[in-house]
Amino acid sequence: MKNKFALPFVGLLLLGLGIGTWRHAGRPATEIAKQTPTPQKVNIQSQASSVPAHYDVPPGPGSLKPTLAAEGFSGVTKEAYQAAREIPDTLAQLPCYCHCDKSMGHKNLHSCFEDDHASHCAVCVGEALTAYRLQKEQRLSAAQIRDRIIAQYSQQP
């Protein structure tokens, strides 16, 4: 019974990721913005668009919990967990639009990959893969990626 729902779900996720990639194709890459070190700060206050919790600056070294190993997953979920391992500071600076900050106490998108929450959530997986692509292919900074994630996900119901 579970597999009957998994295939359409994965298909929709892949379609959404493909559309997101197509929308941003051909845009010029920008240089990675330099960030000055500032004290760690978590943005938990609601804004007009109700942006979920996230760090405004990279967290201090060793302050993030490790993510689960990607090898425990398959497909796009495996890719998302691998991305979380490769760009942890970036994901810590991104809000998660499944709003797990309210339901689970998560502090940022990275938190979703510290346990198996992201493996059950297309929003977490989609945001992580989008962030990875924007950082690696377009060389955007975490702040620029956060702006794109907010613009894309804050409009969805």
Q: How far apart are the first and last CA of the chain?
A: 27
Predicted confidence at residue 93, as pLDDT, reads 95
Q: Which amino acid is at 56?
A: D
Predicted confidence at residue 157, as pLDDT, reads 58
Q: Assign 21 a pLDDT band (cuts: 50, 70, 90).
A: very low
Predicted confidence at residue 58, as pLDDT, reads 86
Predicted confidence at residue 60, as pLDDT, reads 84
Between 20 and 146, name the one with better pLDDT. Answer: 146
Per-residue pLDDT averaged across 50-75, rounded? 91
Cα–Cα–Cα angle for 108, 110, 115, nearest 5°?
115
Q: Is 55 helix (H, G, I), strand (E, B) or coil?
A: strand
Q: State which H helix or E strand residue 15 sits in.
A: helix 2-24
Q: Is the model's pLDDT at 122 over the cut of 70?
A: yes
Q: Is the model's pLDDT at 5 over the cut of 80?
A: no
